[in-house]
Amino acid sequence: MPNLIQTSTDGLVRTLRLNRPDKRNALNAELVTALKNDLDAAEEDASLRAIVLTGAGSAFSAGADLSSLRAMREAGPTANQKDSRHLAELFRRIYQSSIPVIAKVNGHAIGGGCGLASVCDFAYVSEGARLGFSEVRIGFVPAIVMVFLRRKLGETQTRNLLLRGRLVDASRAAEMGLVTRVVSEDELDEAVGNLAHELARETSGSAVALTKQMLARVPGMGLDEALDYAVQMNAFARGTDDCQAGIEAFLNDEDPPWKQEAQG
């Protein structure tokens, strides 16, 4: 049986490729487990500074496959809740990863597959791709992704996507803020590679991790709580090794240590 996730590493960047091309990389419990395990391994690798998530074949991910839909229809409440929590944990893991995650959307991203792309920090999309959440058209609810999408897009665009269940082309997805950038199919690899290596070379790993932590927590806070949290994080960041070294390098007109390491 082939690996459900193909992994490759280029210096400071790890690529995770969904490897069910015959099923258009549709999500099932086994694929979700494999992806969670590989994300955990990447988090534990101190040498990595960026993760790229993409799909094998012509699609990024077509959501749930037919066997998963049949199983969902036949399962009881406890089994369905367990399966739902499994997917929710994957989305949370990507969203809260201390390493920036880039979705390289090489083809259609539908349902859970679109959710997978939307919880990444960046999503670069091939111009021929279509994206969206068609759940309501089969009587289902896009419940888990709604939690993240509401934060990402706001209520108006989230309602427009989820209540109509229509797919949108890549350009429209970018206009809505669902994805970061649209590029031609021929330029996708280069564009994502440039972004991944920019993150790896130019940014502090600890500063990015703390910034991601704040981005995840601040939307659930009131104004006073958020400002108090921001003051604490600001003060904490000043004492980190990266901030101390970064300021020293700036004052001396030198490259910070993380950039020197990337070049060396």
Phi-psi region of 63 (alpha: psi -120 to 50; beta: other; left: phi over 0): left
Rg (CA), the chain: 19
Catalytic choice (30, 43, 89, 135): 135
Specify whether the CB–CB gap between 221 and 231 falls below 8 A.
no
Spatial distance between the Cα atoms of 140 and 142, rounded to a whole number of angstroms: 7
Indicate the pairing of strand 130-132 with strand 109-110.
parallel
Is 74 a catalytic site residue?
no
Catalytic residues: 135
